[in-house]
Amino acid sequence: MDAIRENIPLLLQGIGTTVALTVLGYVFALVVGTAMAVARVSPIPPLRWAATVYVEIFRNIPLLSLLILIAFGLPDVGLRLPYFWCGVLGLTLSSAAFVCENVRSGINTVPVGHAEAARSIGLGFFGTLRHVVLPQAFRSMVQPLVNVFIGTVIGSALCSAIAVQEVTWVTQTLNIRYAQAVLMFLIAGAAYLILSLGGAALGGVIERAVSPGSGRDRSRAGAALDVTAGAQA
């Protein structure tokens, strides 16, 4: 236990770096993945093709390989990033591919008639997505997006391979110094477990808030009915 007491600041710093990697990578992945999903369902063929190529590439490249390519390949083309931001970029590119597929699947759950009604009253493609399709699709996306968050948490451990000083890197360093592998990696495992369970709990709260019968869900249903009624009028 002396190894823990003597290195609490270092361990907290590593946990903080892990949290920062996860949050930044996931938030950027939500933005990029949603944009890719919109491109995949757009009526513009080049956008659909580009988004499909993106998903197929980054969904099938191992995260460790992607991180190494970013950290040690970008300098070869004259672009140098701190290793921390290389980790964020790798997590973003990888997680965004899964976010894209989850958002696209959620969009496909919305009845086609709702989108047709919205278009019939003059809403364009993006207006239909923003005001009619995405609000209804969000409920079915919550748990899949929580799974992507958990994958981002776990994937952040691989950033230690490019010398990002997150909790796995810290515990590896302390293991070399104190030769207490079990204790050190129990700490790392506990940190990832707490982050993952926290994300799952927050996802459960959000899912209940938008579930059928909630006030927000009734508001969305009312908005969809207003759109349909306007179209019929």
Q: What is the pLDDT of residue 43?
A: 82
Q: What is the pLDDT of residue 3?
A: 73
- The CATH H-level superfamily of 2-232 is MetI-like (1.10.3720.10)
Q: What is the pLDDT of residue 33?
A: 94
Q: What is the pLDDT of residue 212?
A: 66
Question: Residues 33, 97: contact at Cβ < 8 Å?
Answer: yes
pLDDT tens digits in sequence order for the chain, 233 residues long: 677 778 788 889 999 999 999 999 999 999 999 999 989 888 888 999 999 999 999 999 999 999 999 999 998 888 889 999 999 999 999 999 999 999 988 888 777 776 667 767 767 766 777 767 777 778 888 889 999 999 999 999 999 999 899 999 999 988 888 888 888 889 899 999 999 999 999 988 888 887 766 554 445 445 444 544 444 44
CA Rg, the chain, in Å? Answer: 21
Question: Residues 170, 13: contact at Cβ < 8 Å?
Answer: yes
Q: What is the pLDDT of residue 22?
A: 96
Q: What is the pLDDT of residue 145?
A: 92
Q: What is the pLDDT of residue 207?
A: 83
Q: What is the pLDDT of residue 182?
A: 87
Q: What is the pLDDT of residue 233?
A: 42
The domain segmentation of the chain, as residue ranges, is 2-232
pTM of the model: 0.84
211: left (phi over 0), alpha (psi -120 to 50) or beta: beta
78: left (phi over 0), alpha (psi -120 to 50) or beta: left
